[in-house]
Amino acid sequence: MYVDPQNHNEISKLDPEILEKLKDDKEDHTDHVLEDTPEENHEEKDQQENFTIHTTKRRDANELSESSQNPSGNSEKRDTQLQKVLGKKTSGKYTIDDFNILRTSGTGSFGRVHLVRSVHNGRFYALKVLKKQTVVRLKQVEHTNDERRMLSVSVHAFIVRLWGTFQDSEHLFMIMDYVEGGELFSLLRRSQRFPNPVAKFYAAEVCLALDYLHSLDIIYRDLKPENLLLDRNGHIKVTDFGFAKYVPDVTYTLCGTPDYIAPEVISAKPYNKSVDWWSFGILIYEMLSGHTPFYDSSTMKTYENILNAPLKFPKYFTPDAQDLLSRLITRDLTERLGNLQNGTEDIKNHAWFSEVIWDKLLDRCIETPYEPPIQQGQGDTSQFDRYPEEEVTYGVHGDDPYADSMTEF
């Protein structure tokens, strides 16, 4: 069970030993982001660079142009929508003095993520730290504020949970539960590709997470294996809400990770939830094959492939998998599953998911295909890369030229 930092209170398995033998000796020097996730009633990246298809993480998820419960508890639609836009208050509860910083568990363009321990209950958490100056310089203020807002209203079994935020004159801080199991990306690279039942399990949990976000009129816009963490039992946790946004109608921003961007985004057309279902199809394809369908070393060629190239399947893809992917990775929005009248139900009722008992899956009552080899409750960092530490002073308060643009932290 995940606890507030101030509170004292049948699938064949992936064999960890075999996965260790499959580890590539090539070094991965790319950014590795750890974010976190909790659910009080359940068991317990920033941006990445330089994607080489089997050994390193894919290109940055950059902005490419210019800059099952009601979270509000309010029955009035207008107030509910206002809360989704502004998010719940997350500031004022914690300070840097509430935590002991143990080590860096991830780095990125805006800052780093630390493994920390609460001085109140002794439990481990992840502290995401963003440099204000960098956020402003890269014109990511709106995305950063949106990340806080969207996380603040998202409470779901398969989504990272935000416990609170605070700031000093130079940094923004987001405190989340520590998710020990590592990234799905790392597991996929060690496995090379997932067997059909394994890919299906992870896809089903992601499907439920997206369905929940869409019920709040939140689009995620950056689905990929790097943004999916595994908790200590092997369940999915969607993390990194840097491009998530409350969109009750449509939006136009060109953002995301090149391999996963939907064609309507590249074409600068208005879009909504449909883009997440395209990315969902790409995710399933990558889990089953070990690569994305339209990848090219040139970003522009990748975009051209997304807009024009035919979707081709390896021979080992099952007919049901091919049918589902053909109806998700389709440029025709009037045919894309998830974007039709029945919404997510069309996906959940597809033959590829026929064995999934959705209610039991949501309750985390279905055995996971892989349990990370970790020591639970010990702040185990074995599933994450080591990063050089740097001397940074947190908690300094002085002149803050960015205070007016980040008041919600």
Active site residue 399: no
CA dihedral 226, 252, 157, 145 (to 10 degrees): 90
Most confident of 68-72, 326-330, 376-380, 395-399: 326-330
pLDDT at 40 over 70: no
pLDDT band of residue 62 (cuts 50, 70, 90) is low
Average pLDDT over the chain reads 84
The model's pTM is: 0.83
pLDDT at 408 over 70: yes
For residue range 8-39, what is the model confidence (pLDDT) as tens digits? 444 456 665 655 555 544 334 333 333 333 33
* Mean local confidence (pLDDT), 31-50: 34
Q: So what's the pLDDT on residue 186?
A: 95
Q: So what's the pLDDT on residue 110?
A: 83
Q: So what's the pLDDT on residue 67?
A: 32
**Angle made by CA atoms 101, 136, 250, in degrees to the nearest 5:** 105
Instruction: Please state, in angstroms and as integers, the Cα–Cα distance from residue 241 to each residue in 21, 174, 325, following that order.
Output: 33, 12, 25
Q: Label each residue of 340-375 as H, E or C.
A: CCCCCHHHHCCHHHCCCCHHHHHCCCCCCCCCCCCC
Which 8-state DSSP code applies to residue 226?
G
Please give the CATH architecture assigned to the domain spanning 184-362. Orthogonal Bundle (1.10)
Higher-pLDDT residue of 29, 323:
323
Superfamily for 31-51+58-180+375-397? Phosphorylase Kinase; domain 1 (3.30.200.20)
Catalytic site residue from 60, 146, 222, 259:
222
In this chain, the answer to whether the domains covering 31-51+58-180+375-397 and 184-362 adopt an identical fold is no
Higher-pLDDT residue of 149, 84:
149
For residue range 281-302, what is the model confidence (pLDDT) as tens digits? 999 999 999 999 999 999 999 9
Q: Give the gyration radius of the chain's Cα atoms.
A: 20
Which 8-state DSSP code applies to residue 109?
S
Whole-angstrom distance, CA of residue 376 vs CA of residue 83: 36
For residue range 324-375, what is the model confidence (pLDDT) as tens digits? 999 999 999 999 999 999 999 999 999 999 999 999 999 999 999 999 999 8
pLDDT band of residue 108 (cuts 50, 70, 90) is confident
Quick check: 129 and 101 in contact, CB under 8 A? no
Q: So what's the pLDDT on residue 376?
A: 83
For residue range 174-192, what is the model confidence (pLDDT) as tens digits? 999 899 999 999 999 999 9
pLDDT at 72 over 50: no
Which 8-state DSSP code applies to residue 110?
S
Whole-angstrom distance, CA of residue 145 vs CA of residue 122: 29
Burial class (CB in 10 A: 0-12, 13-18, 19+), 176: buried
Q: So what's the pLDDT on residue 109?
A: 80
Whole-angstrom distance, CA of residue 397 vs CA of residue 88: 25
Q: So what's the pLDDT on residue 83?
A: 62
- Please state the domain extents for the chain: 31-51+58-180+375-397, 184-362
Q: So what's the pLDDT on residue 392?
A: 84
Q: So what's the pLDDT on residue 18?
A: 56
User: Percent of the chain beyond pLDDT 90?
Assistant: 70
Would you give the end-to-end CA distance of the chain in angstroms? 26
Quick check: 192 and 316 in contact, CB under 8 A? no
Higher-pLDDT residue of 305, 385:
305
> Which tokens is 111 given?
């800052």
pLDDT band of residue 69 (cuts 50, 70, 90) is very low
pLDDT at 85 over 90: no
For residue range 241-275, what is the model confidence (pLDDT) as tens digits? 999 999 999 999 999 999 999 999 999 999 999 99
